[in-house]
A and B are shown apart, each in its own frame.
Chain A
Amino acid sequence: MLLCFACNKAAEIPPLPAAAYLMFYNGAPEFYGVQSLVLVNNRLNGNLDYNNNGRGLIGAYNASKYQLTDTGLFRIAFTDSTGKTGKLTEGIYHFADKSHYTIYLADSLGYYETLVTNDDVQPDPQQAKIRIIHLSPGAGSISVQLDTSYVTGLAGLHFREVSGYVSVAPDVKPAIRIVEAGIPVPIIRKSFPLEAGKCYTMILRGYKTPPDGNVNKTVNLSTIINF
């Protein structure tokens, strides 16, 4: 009898609603110190300044901030800092159940666009997993080095391209270097702990030579700990 009740009760529990997980990142240097409004289906969904993923400015690295959302087709738009001149760019994306996505605002001298990545990956308890997205319009083909070794799978990426996740050995203080093809000296060197079981997205951002000379817009590497 008890089992019957249990069975009935279980049967009455409604299935979990379908939900996707969204994170937004402003990779447009033009928004250094000013906010871009994020619109989801024309409704304000917060605002982001340059190098912000909703959890605050990303230094060397920062945690992710996913928002639950419905599934299906969505309009994702970014506006200028005032919102008065309308949308800078709007993409239509399909979000699937139980999937994680990051939507990036990218910019190359005013040519704005949105990019989306599916962030899902199976963590490896023994390894760290890293990937890189190239949002630095002035940089050419880039590759990632850990210490002085190239990381297989993180090479030859151009502006607006994203790599897949690659497993690497955990390290407390790895020397992560971004090397541009044809340039012997790394264009940026960073270090942050790579922990086993965690998954990271590195974002190469900024201009090699900012048009307005603002050093805060120079090329740099920020990392989001996705999981």
Chain B
Amino acid sequence: MAAGLYACKKDNNNKVLPIMEPEIRNTSRTVVQAGDTLSIYGDHLLQANCITEVFIHDRPCIVLKAGNDSIQVIVGPQTSTGPLRVTIGLQQTFSSAEGPVITLLGTPLIKSFWPLYGAPGDTIALVTEHFSSNNTENNIFLLGAALRIVGNNGNDTLLVTAPTASGFGTFSWQTYNGPLYKKPDTFAMRQRSYPVQTVMEWIHLDPAFSYVDTLLRGFDDLATNAYLFQHYYDSTLNYITSATRTYTMFLPANGYYYAHGITMAAYLQNVKAKSYQYYPPQLSAIIPGVQLSLGMLQEGDLYRSASTQDIAFPGGDPALGNQVQITKENGKIYAYVVGIDGSTAPRVEILREHRIGRVTILETDGELGSLPL
């Protein structure tokens, strides 16, 4: 009988843990992402000589700081949704508490953005994954500036405003104050205005015109059978390098090429292969003698271009040539080339205007083209 008592006492002594049972009362959040900071509140979460460990779905979290009534942890990478557990260990003994199920969202990602360039204040659409539907929990940065979120469909698209900045930058972002992620693709900041005198200078500085800038600067290297287009090119240069002429010029922005998946290399190959499709049309895009603005353009306006018969061949009629017709539809303004026989080229949309002294660039979403003279 006595032996039995002793045995019983001894067993009890073995089972007594010098660890007070931890308790989880609540957490700062129950929906997190890997890398997020999570606070856990409760009792006995830190005890003398003991090690406090935190797990979500058995995956360890990084403990930032621990106290008796709270722990702050970073959610570890590659953690799945599952219960929260705090384990207090002392050598081979332990006591643990299970908390709520913590839902793990996937890593936030900006998959793509459009356009690839913009001026301060322009709206940029970001195709996203695993961002919060609550904009205050999303932070997006570009060129050192925190971007203002102006739209969020709660699923896969965020709209942000381009910052007041210049140059090329990459997007970085974080959600729920988690880790900072980056996308390697660059966004080009353009300016509302450049301190230049000519179109040639403008398109060289404006990253939205790098394709046409390369085209016009690279004539000597790119034009095949250059002698056929030399006169067109020289006539074009007379306009775009002049600071005194008054004219309007339609120019395609890079977005047209990006949208069609035409890389710069492919573009240059096309220019070499079909130079006749690139150099003569530049003159059709020039409206001499008038500095147009978006507000001036009216349905049915027809403007004579600089591409006239006498430039195409000696003895040609200077009164005949390509003209540019303006049309409007659903609040948008379009332009298209009209040939000497009344034939027309596909229309392009006029996106915005840029004014340089006595010249206006009307930025389009495609190449205006030209028609036979």
| A residues neighboring B (CB under 8 Å) | 41-43, 75, 86-92, 109-114
Residue ID in chain A nearest B89 by CB atoms: A42
The answer, among B60, B77, B78, B96, for a CB contact under 8 Å with A92, is: B96
The closest CB in chain B to the CB of A42 belongs to B89
Residues of A within 8 A of B93 (CB): 41
Chain A neighbourhood of B85, CB < 8 A? 92
Q: Does any Cβ of A come within 8 Å of B44's Cβ?
A: no
B87 touches A75 (CB 8 A): yes
Q: How far is the CA of A75 from the CA of B60 in the complex (A)?
A: 13
8 additional A-B residue pairs with CB within 8 Å, beyond A75-B89, A75-B94, A88-B60: A89-B58, A90-B53, A90-B55, A92-B87, A111-B79, A112-B78, A113-B57, A113-B59
Beta-carbon contact of B78 and A90 below 8 Å: no
Instruction: List 5 A-B residue pairs with CB atoms under 8 Å apart, sorted by A's residue number.
Output: A41-B92, A41-B93, A88-B60, A90-B58, A112-B59
Contacts of A90 in B (CB 8 A): 53, 55, 58, 60, 87
Interface of A is mostly: strand
B59 partner residues in chain A, CB cutoff 8 A: 88-89, 112-113
A75: chain B residues within 8 A (beta carbon): 87, 89, 94
User: A42-B92, A75-B89, A92-B85 are contacts. A87–B78 as well, Cβ < 8 Å?
Assistant: no
A91 with B60: CB separation less than 8 A: no
Cβ contact within 8 Å between B60 and A87: yes
B92 close to A91 (CB less than 8 A) = no
A111 CB contacts on chain B under 8 angstroms: 78-80
B369 CB → nearest A CB, Å: 48
- Does chain A have a CB within 8 A of B343? no
Residues of B within 8 A of A110 (CB): 77-78
Contact (Cβ within 8 A) B80 A113: yes
Judged by a CB distance under 8 angstroms, whether B136 is at the interface is no
Residues on B with C-beta less than 8 A from A41 are: 89, 92-94
Cβ–Cβ < 8 Å partners of B96 in chain A: 92
Q: List residues of chain A with CB within 8 A of the CB of B89.
A: 41-42, 75
Return chain A residues, CB-CB under 8 Å to B80.
111, 113
Which of B58, B80, B89, B96 neighbours the largest number of chain A CB atoms within 10 Å of its CB?
B58
B3 to chain A, nearest CB (A): 10
Set of chain B residues within 8 Å of A87, measured between Cβ atoms: 53, 60
Give the CA-CA distance A41 to B57 in the complex, in Å: 18
A-B pairs with the 5 shortest C-beta distances?
A: A41-B92, A110-B78, A89-B58, A111-B78, A91-B58
B91 within 8 A of A: yes
B215, chain A: closest CB distance, angstroms:
43
Chain B, range 43-73, C-beta contacts under 8 Å to A: 51, 53, 55, 57-60
Q: List residues of chain A with CB within 8 A of the CB of B57.
A: 113
Query: In the complex, what's the smallest C-beta–C-beta distance from B11 to chain A, in angstroms?
Result: 11
- Report A-chain residues with C-beta under 8 Å of the C-beta of B79: 111
Instruction: Provide the residues of chain B in CB contact with A89, threshold 8 Å.
Output: 58-60
Q: Which residues of B contact A91 (CB under 8 A)?
A: 58
Residues in A with CB closer than 8 Å to B51 are 42
How distant is A46 from chain B, measured CB to nearest CB, in Å? 16
CB distance from A123 to the nearest CB of B (A): 32
